[in-house]
Amino acid sequence: MDVLCLADRYQLMELKSSLEFTLSNHLSINTIFQFFFYAEAYNCHYLLQRCTTYIKSNTRLVLCSEVILNLPFNHFRSFISRDQLLVEEIVIVETVQKWIFQNEPNREQKKKLLKCVRLSEMSSSQLSAKVLTSGLFDQSIITNTQDSINEDSAGGQGKIGKCLHFCVFI
C-alpha cells in the first residue's frame, strides 16, 4: 500500500493503474475494507468501483464477517452509513450491536453509530423482536417508529420520513 500512496503522491498514473488492477484481482472478505478505504483515500476509481461491486454482491457476508468488527470507529460508521448496502436494516442493527459489544465505544460514538440505523426501514415485528430487546435504543423511540409504521400502513400521514436516522442511546 505504500507504493500506491507514493504513486498517487507523485502522480505515477501507469503504476497507480497497474496497482489498482492487481489489487482488484485480490478482493476477498479479508482485504475488502483495507482496499476500499485506500481506494477512497487515493482516488483509485477502478479499485473503488470493484470494491463497491464486491460489497454489493456480498453485503450479508461482509456485514457478518469478523473483519468488520475490527474496523476503527470512523471507518465502521462510514461503511454502515452507505445506502449501497443491499441488506435488511435488521442485519445492520445486528452488526452495530456486535461492533459496540466488541469495541466498547464511548457514549458519543454510540450515538453517532445508532443514528446510522434507519429504524423506519424495519417492520413493526423486527422492531419489537430484535431492536427493542437489543437494549441499544430507548423504548419510546421504538414505540414512535412503530406508530409511524402503523399510521403509514393504515393510509395515514405517518412520520416515517421524520424518524429516519433518529435514535437515542439509553
Segment 27-46, tens digit of pLDDT: 999 999 999 999 999 999 99
What is the pLDDT, as a whole number, of residue 68? 96
| Closest-CA residue to 27 (of 4, 60, 3, 50) | 50
At 158, give phi and psi (nearest 5°).
-70, 170
Only one residue has cell 472478505, namely 29
Please state the pTM of the whole predicted model.
0.77
pLDDT band for 168, please (50, 70, 90 cuts): very low
Place of cell 442485519: 91
Report whether pLDDT(166) > 60.
no
